[in-house]
Homo-oligomer: A and B are copies of this chain.
């Protein structure tokens, strides 16, 4: 299983500093939507961040203008870009085509996607499907249960990622479950007294 660390709601300089520290040993570094919308993709270019090992995910949450946003994101060096499953099918097919053309990756954020819509968007074999707990939602989220339910309905989807308040205990349970490609951890690392040490703890659990 891989570890993606989500950096969000911090100053650009702080984001850069922690990204550099995490780069040598985590799998994926996510620059969250707050950083994209506060500072823009140009400021988050892979070269400007100085990443050499980890993959870079820009959480663009594309919902329209798929070609423009994905080409821009890959141009600045993102390995993975996100599109909302709630976007129009035209947007999803466009972003997938751009991702395939660039040999990069597309992450479909499944937040607020109805079951009917979900059935329509399972046709992207190389896409990553992201089970995601909306930050604005107050409901509880059990990661392994959500993954098990999703896998039962969509057994053919091979790349599943999961996010939403994941702690060490849940990460270990997901590793044991064996269905998830990447676990996304935000505050449990970023709000730890020592984020680098916290990330190292998570890496021990996921590998």
Contacts and interface: CB of A to CB of B under 8 A. Distances in A.
Interface of A: 9, 33-34, 36-43, 60-61, 63-69, 72, 84, 86-88, 90-91, 94, 111-112, 114, 134-138
Nearest to A116: B114
Contacts of A135: 64-65
Contacts of A63: 61, 63, 84, 86, 111-112
A36 B68 CA distance: 13
B34 A69 contact: yes
Nearest to A8: B65
A68 B34 contact: yes
Contacts of A64: 33, 61, 111, 134-136
A66 B112 contact: no
Contact of A41 (B37, B91, B94, B134): B37
Given A91-B134, A134-B88, A37 B40 contact: yes
Contacts of A138: 90
Contacts of A66: 136
A137 B90 CA distance: 6
20 contacts: A33-B64, A33-B69, A34-B69, A34-B72, A37-B40, A38-B42, A38-B72, A39-B43, A61-B64, A63-B84, A63-B112, A64-B111, A65-B135, A86-B86, A87-B136, A88-B134, A90-B136, A90-B137, A90-B138, A94-B136
Nearest to A38: B40
A9 B111 CA distance: 27
Given A34-B69, A90-B137, A91-B136, 6 more contacts: A37-B40, A63-B111, A64-B136, A84-B86, A86-B86, A87-B112
